[in-house]
Amino acid sequence: MGLLLKVFIPLLGAALAFYFYSASENFNEEMLRGKRVIVTGASSGIGEQMAYHLARMEAHLLLTARTEAKLQKVVKRCLELGAASARYVSGSMDSPTLPEELLREAENTWGGLDMLILNHIGQSGFTYFNGDVEHVRKLMEINFVSYVALATAALPMLKESEGSIIVVSSIAGRIGGPFTAPYSATKFALDGFFSSLRQELIIDKVNVSITLCILGYIDTESAVRAVSHVIPDAPAPKEECALEIIRGGALRQREVRYPPRAVGSMLLIRSLAPEFLDSIIRSSYHVENVRRT
């Protein structure tokens, strides 16, 4: 079993990564120059890093999150890095009016949109499900329903520009590990909705791409704070993660997996031996350190 985990699985993961990444040979950062891009959850973490990459690539940026002071700093840095333009709209994605407001801002300022990056998440702990159904409802609203509302409001402009929607999800949206029940549910929902929508766009010959990003553990402040006492694995770098998401979106890939080896191996083991994977996950966590709420 040890040999299987140490040699065979990584090799297979590498082969899969090669397969997925061989499609990305044509990526060129100039593809993003002058493009009109919305990034949600852009005040910290992976969203902030995506904003900086896009700024270097000379895109036009419209950023959003709740904390105005953080957004002001990110916008300032984006302008220093070379963004063609950068502005923000602040607000919480549990407000049903924010998606429309954001897309109206894009239409009024740019007259169109090329890329919508859906990345924000509401706060959720890393702990046993404590029966708080209201929390699940609220998280669904922020992590799922607002993504649907944003994509719906953006579609007319994206159809016009033959643009792209990028949906940032998680391995927790493909595999139900412990301590993320509400969060995991919202990410599974994204896969269901956007995979179905992709099919409909293809049937209707609408050239808007949908890229779903399946991420493993990334070294953002909030994730490290939430899980480092339970999960001993080293997180992957947010800067590289952000670039891989943009690359996959620009190439109109169906899926981005990052870090590719870890995510690829987990998905492969899940399809071959799901219960075995569940037991590996359980035994690799320091469950004794999980704080009950």
Ligand X SMILES: NC(=O)C1=CN([C@@H]2O[C@H](COP(=O)(O)OP(=O)(O)OC[C@H]3O[C@@H](n4cnc5c(N)ncnc54)[C@H](OP(=O)(O)O)[C@@H]3O)[C@@H](O)[C@H]2O)C=CC1
Pick the closer one to ligand LWJPFZD4 by CB: 119 or 164. Answer: 119
Separation in Å, CA 283 to CA 114, 157, 212, 232, 276: 44, 48, 29, 11, 11
Give, in order, the Cα–Cα distances in Å from 181 to each of 124, 125, 140, 192.
10, 10, 12, 17
> Least distance (Å) from ligand LWJPFZD4 to the CB of residue 118?
14
Interactions with ligand X, residue window 40-59 (CB under 6 A): 41-47
List binders of ligand X among 185-224 (CB under 6 A): 215, 217-218, 220, 222-223
CB 271 within 8 A of CB 175: no
* Residue 231 contacts which entry, ligand X, ligand LWJPFZD4, none (Cβ below 5-8 A, type-dependent): ligand LWJPFZD4
Other CB atoms within 10 A of residue 32 CB: 24
- Measured over the CA atoms of residue 189, residue 191, residue 192 and residue 196, the dihedral's sign is positive
Question: Contacts with ligand LWJPFZD4: how many residues (CB under 6 A)?
Answer: 17
Contact flag: residue 70 with ligand X (CB under 6 A): yes
Backbone angles phi, psi at 272, to 5 degrees: -90, -40
Q: What does the block give as tokens for 205?
A: 């010959």
| Contact status: 99 vs ligand X (CB under 6 A) | no
Q: Which of the ranges 39-47, 52-60, 148-156, 194-202 carries the binding residues for ligand X, by CB under 6 A? A: 39-47
Judged by beta carbon distances under 5 to 8 A according to partner kind, the member of ligand LWJPFZD4, ligand X, none in contact with residue 99 is none
User: Closest CB to ligand LWJPFZD4 among 170 and 211?
Assistant: 170
Task: Rule CB under 6 A: say whether 227 interacts with ligand LWJPFZD4.
Answer: yes
188 scored as a contact of ligand LWJPFZD4 (CB under 6 A): no
Assess whether 183 carries a catalytic annotation.
yes
Is residue 122 part of the contact set for ligand X (CB under 6 A)? yes
Q: Tell me the C-alpha distance between 71 and 91, whole Å.
A: 11
Counting contacts by CB under 6 A, is residue 233 touching ligand LWJPFZD4? Answer: yes
If binding is defined by CB under 6 A, does position 102 make contact with ligand LWJPFZD4?
no
- Residues in touch with ligand X (CB under 6 A): 41-47, 65-67, 70, 92-94, 119-122, 142, 168, 170, 215, 217-218, 220, 222-223
Which residues contact ligand LWJPFZD4 by CB under 6 A? 126, 170-172, 177, 180, 183, 216-217, 222-223, 226-227, 231, 233, 281, 284
